[in-house]
Amino acid sequence: MRQRRLVVTGASQGIGAALVEQARATGHQVTFTGRDQARVEALAVKTGAHGLVADVTNGDDNQRTVDTAVARMGGIDVLVNNAGYAYRAEIGALDVAAMRTMFETNVFGLVDITNRVVPLLKAQAFGDIVNIASTSGMKGAPTGTAYSGSKWAVRGITQCWQAELRPFNIRVGCICPSEVQTNFGGRSGRNNPNKLYADDIAATILAGVHLPQRVLWTELAVFATNPWKED
Protein backbone atom coordinates (compact mmCIF):
# COMPACT_ATOMS: atom_id res chain seq x y z
CA MET A 1 0.00 0.00 0.00
CA ARG A 2 1.35 3.38 -1.01
CA GLN A 3 1.71 5.88 1.81
CA ARG A 4 -0.42 8.95 1.11
CA ARG A 5 -0.28 12.55 2.30
CA LEU A 6 -3.78 13.61 3.35
CA VAL A 7 -5.37 16.98 4.04
CA VAL A 8 -8.67 16.68 5.94
CA THR A 9 -10.85 19.72 6.64
CA GLY A 10 -13.23 20.05 9.57
CA ALA A 11 -11.49 17.28 11.46
CA SER A 12 -11.51 18.34 15.09
CA GLN A 13 -14.38 15.91 15.81
CA GLY A 14 -16.77 13.45 14.20
CA ILE A 15 -16.02 11.86 10.83
CA GLY A 16 -12.97 14.03 10.25
CA ALA A 17 -11.34 13.12 13.55
CA ALA A 18 -12.06 9.43 12.99
CA LEU A 19 -10.44 9.66 9.56
CA VAL A 20 -7.34 11.34 10.97
CA GLU A 21 -6.96 8.57 13.56
CA GLN A 22 -7.47 5.73 11.06
CA ALA A 23 -5.23 7.27 8.42
CA ARG A 24 -2.40 7.75 10.90
CA ALA A 25 -2.86 4.19 12.22
CA THR A 26 -2.54 2.96 8.62
CA GLY A 27 0.75 4.81 8.16
CA HIS A 28 -0.37 7.85 6.18
CA GLN A 29 0.77 11.41 6.82
CA VAL A 30 -2.04 13.81 7.70
CA THR A 31 -2.56 17.54 7.96
CA PHE A 32 -6.00 18.46 9.30
CA THR A 33 -7.97 21.58 10.13
CA GLY A 34 -10.64 22.56 12.62
CA ARG A 35 -11.98 25.65 14.32
CA ASP A 36 -11.77 24.46 17.93
CA GLN A 37 -8.20 24.98 19.09
CA ALA A 38 -8.39 22.65 22.10
CA ARG A 39 -9.77 19.77 20.02
CA VAL A 40 -7.27 20.38 17.22
CA GLU A 41 -4.36 20.32 19.65
CA ALA A 42 -5.62 17.20 21.44
CA LEU A 43 -6.06 15.25 18.20
CA ALA A 44 -2.63 16.32 16.95
CA VAL A 45 -1.01 15.10 20.15
CA LYS A 46 -2.98 11.83 20.10
CA THR A 47 -2.22 10.95 16.46
CA GLY A 48 0.96 12.76 15.51
CA ALA A 49 -0.89 14.47 12.67
CA HIS A 50 -0.31 18.13 11.83
CA GLY A 51 -3.24 20.15 13.19
CA LEU A 52 -4.18 23.68 12.15
CA VAL A 53 -6.83 26.01 13.50
CA ALA A 54 -8.38 27.13 10.22
CA ASP A 55 -11.76 27.95 8.67
CA VAL A 56 -12.49 26.90 5.08
CA THR A 57 -14.55 30.06 4.55
CA ASN A 58 -11.33 32.08 4.87
CA GLY A 59 -9.15 32.08 1.76
CA ASP A 60 -6.02 33.01 3.70
CA ASP A 61 -6.63 30.08 6.06
CA ASN A 62 -7.02 27.73 3.10
CA GLN A 63 -3.75 28.89 1.56
CA ARG A 64 -2.02 28.49 4.94
CA THR A 65 -3.38 24.94 5.16
CA VAL A 66 -2.00 24.07 1.73
CA ASP A 67 1.35 25.71 2.42
CA THR A 68 1.67 23.97 5.79
CA ALA A 69 0.81 20.58 4.29
CA VAL A 70 3.44 21.01 1.59
CA ALA A 71 6.05 22.20 4.08
CA ARG A 72 5.44 19.43 6.63
CA MET A 73 4.57 16.49 4.37
CA GLY A 74 6.35 17.40 1.15
CA GLY A 75 3.11 17.57 -0.83
CA ILE A 76 -0.53 16.53 -0.94
CA ASP A 77 -1.96 13.32 -2.41
CA VAL A 78 -5.47 13.29 -0.95
CA LEU A 79 -7.84 16.13 -0.09
CA VAL A 80 -10.89 15.21 1.97
CA ASN A 81 -13.45 18.03 2.01
CA ASN A 82 -15.22 17.16 5.23
CA ALA A 83 -15.97 20.57 6.79
CA GLY A 84 -19.67 21.29 6.91
CA TYR A 85 -22.70 21.86 9.09
CA ALA A 86 -26.48 21.96 8.81
CA TYR A 87 -28.96 24.81 8.94
CA ARG A 88 -32.55 23.63 8.61
CA ALA A 89 -35.81 25.54 8.38
CA GLU A 90 -39.13 25.30 6.59
CA ILE A 91 -39.72 27.44 3.53
CA GLY A 92 -41.72 30.46 4.56
CA ALA A 93 -39.64 30.75 7.72
CA LEU A 94 -36.18 30.36 6.16
CA ASP A 95 -33.40 32.76 7.13
CA VAL A 96 -31.72 33.32 3.77
CA ALA A 97 -28.71 34.97 5.42
CA ALA A 98 -28.17 31.85 7.54
CA MET A 99 -28.46 29.73 4.38
CA ARG A 100 -25.82 31.87 2.64
CA THR A 101 -23.50 31.55 5.63
CA MET A 102 -23.84 27.77 5.58
CA PHE A 103 -23.13 27.67 1.84
CA GLU A 104 -19.88 29.55 2.53
CA THR A 105 -18.68 26.49 4.45
CA ASN A 106 -20.42 23.59 2.74
CA VAL A 107 -19.94 24.75 -0.86
CA PHE A 108 -17.72 27.79 -1.40
CA GLY A 109 -15.12 26.81 1.20
CA LEU A 110 -14.92 23.34 -0.36
CA VAL A 111 -14.40 24.91 -3.79
CA ASP A 112 -11.82 27.42 -2.57
CA ILE A 113 -9.46 24.97 -0.89
CA THR A 114 -9.79 22.49 -3.77
CA ASN A 115 -8.97 25.30 -6.20
CA ARG A 116 -5.68 25.74 -4.34
CA VAL A 117 -4.83 22.02 -4.14
CA VAL A 118 -5.63 20.93 -7.71
CA PRO A 119 -2.56 22.57 -9.34
CA LEU A 120 -0.35 20.46 -7.04
CA LEU A 121 -2.20 17.26 -7.96
CA LYS A 122 -2.01 18.08 -11.67
CA ALA A 123 1.72 18.74 -11.42
CA GLN A 124 2.32 15.28 -9.96
CA ALA A 125 -0.33 13.64 -12.22
CA PHE A 126 -1.79 11.78 -9.26
CA GLY A 127 -4.22 12.30 -6.42
CA ASP A 128 -7.62 11.94 -4.83
CA ILE A 129 -10.31 14.43 -3.87
CA VAL A 130 -13.06 13.10 -1.62
CA ASN A 131 -16.10 15.31 -1.03
CA ILE A 132 -18.37 14.51 1.89
CA ALA A 133 -21.98 15.11 0.88
CA SER A 134 -24.99 13.37 2.45
CA THR A 135 -27.99 11.24 1.62
CA SER A 136 -29.82 14.51 2.34
CA GLY A 137 -28.37 15.61 -0.98
CA MET A 138 -30.00 12.66 -2.74
CA LYS A 139 -33.58 13.07 -1.54
CA GLY A 140 -35.45 16.12 -0.31
CA ALA A 141 -37.13 16.29 3.08
CA PRO A 142 -39.00 18.85 5.19
CA THR A 143 -36.74 21.68 6.50
CA GLY A 144 -34.05 20.56 4.04
CA THR A 145 -34.03 23.49 1.60
CA ALA A 146 -30.71 24.91 2.82
CA TYR A 147 -28.77 21.86 3.95
CA SER A 148 -29.99 19.46 1.27
CA GLY A 149 -29.46 22.18 -1.32
CA SER A 150 -25.83 22.53 -0.26
CA LYS A 151 -25.24 18.79 -0.49
CA TRP A 152 -26.96 18.54 -3.89
CA ALA A 153 -24.49 21.24 -4.93
CA VAL A 154 -21.55 19.20 -3.64
CA ARG A 155 -22.69 16.20 -5.68
CA GLY A 156 -22.98 18.28 -8.84
CA ILE A 157 -19.61 19.93 -8.27
CA THR A 158 -18.06 16.50 -7.77
CA GLN A 159 -19.34 15.35 -11.14
CA CYS A 160 -17.89 18.43 -12.84
CA TRP A 161 -14.49 17.83 -11.25
CA GLN A 162 -14.57 14.19 -12.28
CA ALA A 163 -15.01 15.23 -15.90
CA GLU A 164 -12.19 17.77 -15.66
CA LEU A 165 -9.62 15.80 -13.67
CA ARG A 166 -9.83 12.18 -14.81
CA PRO A 167 -7.42 12.90 -17.71
CA PHE A 168 -4.83 13.96 -15.10
CA ASN A 169 -5.05 10.69 -13.13
CA ILE A 170 -6.88 12.52 -10.35
CA ARG A 171 -9.84 10.68 -8.84
CA VAL A 172 -12.76 12.70 -7.49
CA GLY A 173 -15.39 10.91 -5.45
CA CYS A 174 -18.36 11.79 -3.31
CA ILE A 175 -19.39 9.99 -0.12
CA CYS A 176 -23.02 10.40 0.99
CA PRO A 177 -23.47 9.17 4.56
CA SER A 178 -26.85 8.58 6.11
CA GLU A 179 -27.33 9.50 9.78
CA VAL A 180 -24.08 9.14 11.71
CA GLN A 181 -23.80 9.09 15.50
CA THR A 182 -21.60 12.15 16.01
CA ASN A 183 -22.05 15.54 17.63
CA PHE A 184 -23.22 16.92 14.26
CA GLY A 185 -25.69 19.73 14.80
CA GLY A 186 -25.06 19.63 18.54
CA ARG A 187 -26.67 16.21 18.90
CA SER A 188 -24.42 13.71 20.65
CA GLY A 189 -24.81 9.90 20.48
CA ARG A 190 -28.19 8.49 19.51
CA ASN A 191 -27.84 5.48 21.86
CA ASN A 192 -28.50 3.07 19.00
CA PRO A 193 -25.61 0.67 18.29
CA ASN A 194 -27.13 -0.20 14.92
CA LYS A 195 -26.75 3.27 13.42
CA LEU A 196 -23.61 4.39 11.64
CA TYR A 197 -20.58 5.66 13.53
CA ALA A 198 -17.90 8.12 12.42
CA ASP A 199 -15.41 5.23 12.26
CA ASP A 200 -17.61 3.53 9.64
CA ILE A 201 -17.47 6.52 7.30
CA ALA A 202 -13.74 6.99 7.89
CA ALA A 203 -13.12 3.35 6.97
CA THR A 204 -15.22 3.78 3.83
CA ILE A 205 -13.21 6.83 2.74
CA LEU A 206 -9.91 5.00 3.23
CA ALA A 207 -11.22 1.95 1.38
CA GLY A 208 -11.78 4.15 -1.66
CA VAL A 209 -8.36 5.75 -1.36
CA HIS A 210 -6.72 2.33 -1.11
CA LEU A 211 -8.32 1.01 -4.31
CA PRO A 212 -6.03 0.56 -7.32
CA GLN A 213 -5.54 3.94 -8.98
CA ARG A 214 -7.34 2.78 -12.11
CA VAL A 215 -10.54 2.36 -10.05
CA LEU A 216 -12.78 5.36 -9.35
CA TRP A 217 -15.73 5.48 -6.98
CA THR A 218 -17.79 8.29 -8.48
CA GLU A 219 -20.37 8.38 -5.69
CA LEU A 220 -21.22 6.16 -2.75
CA ALA A 221 -24.21 6.32 -0.42
CA VAL A 222 -23.57 4.72 2.98
CA PHE A 223 -26.45 3.41 5.10
CA ALA A 224 -26.65 1.37 8.27
CA THR A 225 -27.73 -2.21 7.53
CA ASN A 226 -30.61 -2.27 10.00
CA PRO A 227 -30.77 1.03 11.93
CA TRP A 228 -34.24 0.40 13.34
CA LYS A 229 -33.33 -2.80 15.14
CA GLU A 230 -33.31 -2.40 18.91
CA ASP A 231 -30.85 -4.39 21.00
Q: Which of 163, 141, 138 is nearest to 216 (CA)?
A: 163
CA atoms within 13 A on the CB side of 17: 19
Are 113 and 79 spatial neighbours (Cβ–Cβ below 8 Å)?
A: yes
Residues annotated as part of the active site? 147
Q: How far apart are the first and last CA of the chain?
A: 38
Alpha carbon 153 to chain centroid, angstroms: 14
Where do the H-state alpha helices sit in 74-134?
Answer: 96-103, 110-124
Q: Three-state DSSP class for 91?
A: coil
